[in-house]
Chain A
């Protein structure tokens, strides 16, 4: 008997104002003691719903509509709340993406451990045990005395992990535990997790949209699409040869940015609408290998190459053979999908006219605590130029000063010393560091922002048409029908066509990628000269990142914009940017044309960033992907 047995589990959402949604359909799998299983797929494929259903954490309008879950011999689908409470946290614990925000803000970390021990009647010295647990997740014991708000996101997530492990559970459900964290932090948490699992021997169900991360860590991966499992095979086998076209598509998002030629690919389109009934294979609309039979016959999950696969063509062994495991071979895989984000660059970026110059800028923040003042230099002596039709990537860990630089450029803050000059306007040059009031407001039309979190960048109560109408009214004097028409054009220019379908929608009715497109359209509305994109893809699914990057690249070239692309991800910088600046603790440590900086990184910090990029191919070849200068 396996530790966790899931048989024919189905979950349906029956919300009141929308049609019912079959989020999980007839899913069966086993997890053995100590096994590390990855659950993958784009958002909306039903991963979290499945994970929550397994733990019986679903709340209305979600309902388990069929099937059985048994954990360690106990039937969870039948168990009462009392029994579940005993099991949860003791034998079965969880860490969510939001766990770091659900630590109790008003009590110290130590007290949170004490509460957990008390709630489950664990005897012994709290401090000693809590210290031991913190050491497990590589945190200093001083963290015990801290309040959650004094810790960084990564540290809080480690505390959440330590709490989840506090009672030595047999199975831990991790739902996107590192999504949204910095690459370096993400890397160190995952490394620690892998070690812990080896030491303590718990089983893991790891839910993620990031195939790269999961393949590196898991024994076995299950790929989910449209509420069904489409591939369930050992991780090594999947890397050697992914069998489902969807899995292959997901793998297309990874590449080693150090290679001389880098290509990533994406799967056009979105997952199917599960409130409608579908005949045939759910992936047909997006599948490059689809045949007539796929439209009418729903494939079964059948044994194939050491696991299970749900694809008619693969089951007849007619898919083109792709042997992954070398980064070179992956380049070939990407071409299976028609849309490939490969960007042309101008021959020499120095030709392009300067639009904005940052010269020897330092920003010092002074904070006063009682009588002592302390000052930090968020940016130290930074100089660079943004040029027309050129993307400049600003790369660095969180806290390295990237967003401070963005605020200096947009005039939200002023530098302590140094100059910011805008030379891209029609009028005379502007000293941005001296603008105020009306002049600052006028300047902003030239400098627009794309935000990191597309869910917070659009007001949930305002329609898309309203969001787009504001810059049009304020900067172009357009109102009424003229504004609406222009808004529609803008939507089409960012790939949201036909625009009529989107104008009157509310943000929550759009997917993350669509929202990010709307945010981009709004930024384009005043016809700016400079576009600042602050980590525009880090909150998006890996599978649609390439799509948004391609859009941004096209816009830069089409509108001859100067773009500052802020990121901690060197792969996307390699794909989009002409020039790279690497920022470490406020200082520019490396800069130059993208290929030179990334291909032959000299700075230790740049190398650390490179090594932190998830690279599934490294495991298959048994080495880190080799840098090729």
Chain B
């Protein structure tokens, strides 16, 4: 409905209000305020619990996996059995072990690429927004370039032609192609925040630019940064799976994408090994679901009207 309605802030606009609420909550609990607000949202709580389960799986993968995922001495192309719950691959590796260890890869890629692209986006967005002038023009051009360049083809090209193969290459490729969106949002947020009277007041109190950015501006953007990180991590997990599925991943790393790739190459469909085919896809979609659920809570964080107080 487009009838003028009473002012309800669009999601993500009132980051200071969010921050004030979060800071206030944090003082009563010792946990970060944004976390407490997220936890209170039911959908988000389920998402956080699911994600926590994946993180635990990844951390303790070597203990939980029944076999070494590269061990290929088992009978090939088994269906689910008592000693191989999800069967074995065409090379004779244990599918369950690969699934468990594959969680590590996804988590590592999500975490590392999420952190990396958030950092790049933060530095570029903050500098462009706060410094302004020609610096902003140059950086904005870069950001726009990053936005229009189609990420997937670029990822595929970079991954295909890179002289080395490895999980870190994938992480770097994903970060380099995925920072621009976050940078743009952060830049526009900084532009609103830097005109606040408290920023002028900090100038009058004698504070320098670096301190003003670190102490006055960034704390008012934490929810945006968390949001950006989640988005980037999710994109990275998807990106890695996609590359690996296309056979562009690191052949030595066990990952869900690579499992899907091998399952289709190894003729899982023909041999009727449904578990081998479905398990990695299902794991991937559960992980994506957990992120989506957490995002519901982040919307609530940015929009007080959705908060379940």
Contacts and interface: CB of A to CB of B under 8 A. Distances in A.
B23 A506 contact: yes
Nearest to B211: A470
Given A453-B197, A471-B206, A506-B24, A15 B309 contact: yes
Contacts of A507: 20
B220 interface: yes
A522 B202 CA distance: 10
Nearest to B28: A17
Given A448-B204, A451-B197, A522-B201, A506 B4 contact: no
A3 to B, nearest CB: 21
Nearest to A448: B204
B11 to A, nearest CB: 15
Residue of B4, B5, B196 with highest tally of chain A CB at under 10 A? B4
Given A115-B2, A461-B20, A461-B220, A471 B7 contact: no
Interface in A319-370: none
A543 interface: no
Contacts of B70: none
Contacts of B148: none
B60 interface: no
A305 B216 CA distance: 55
Contacts of B285: none
A118 B2 CA distance: 9
A459 B220 contact: yes
Contacts of A444: 203-204, 206
| Overall SS of chain B's interface | helix
Contacts of A118: 2
A522 B205 contact: yes
B40 interface: yes
Residue of B23, B196, B205 with highest tally of chain A CB at under 10 A? B205
A460 B204 contact: no
B198 A470 contact: no
Interface residues of A, number: 56
B133 interface: no
B4 A116 contact: yes
A17 B16 CA distance: 18
A507 B17 CA distance: 11
A517 to B, nearest CB: 14
A127 interface: no
Contacts of A452: 197
A462 B216 contact: yes
B207 interface: yes
B140 interface: no
A89 B6 CA distance: 11
A57 B6 contact: yes
Contacts of B5: 102
A460 B201 CA distance: 13
A574 to B, nearest CB: 27
A60 interface: yes
B219 A461 contact: yes
Interface in B185-242: 196-198, 200-207, 215-216, 219-220
Contacts of A519: 201
Contacts of A99: 4, 6-7
Interface string A505-525: 011110000000001001101
Given A17-B28, A160-B4, 15 more contacts: A89-B3, A96-B6, A99-B6, A102-B4, A102-B6, A103-B4, A115-B2, A444-B204, A451-B197, A460-B16, A461-B220, A470-B206, A471-B205, A522-B205, A526-B205
21 contacts: A15-B309, A60-B308, A89-B4, A99-B6, A102-B6, A120-B3, A441-B206, A451-B200, A457-B197, A457-B198, A460-B16, A461-B16, A462-B216, A462-B219, A470-B205, A471-B204, A471-B206, A473-B206, A475-B205, A508-B20, A522-B201
Nearest 7 interchain pairs by C-beta = A474-B206, A102-B7, A460-B20, A115-B2, A470-B205, A471-B205, A457-B197
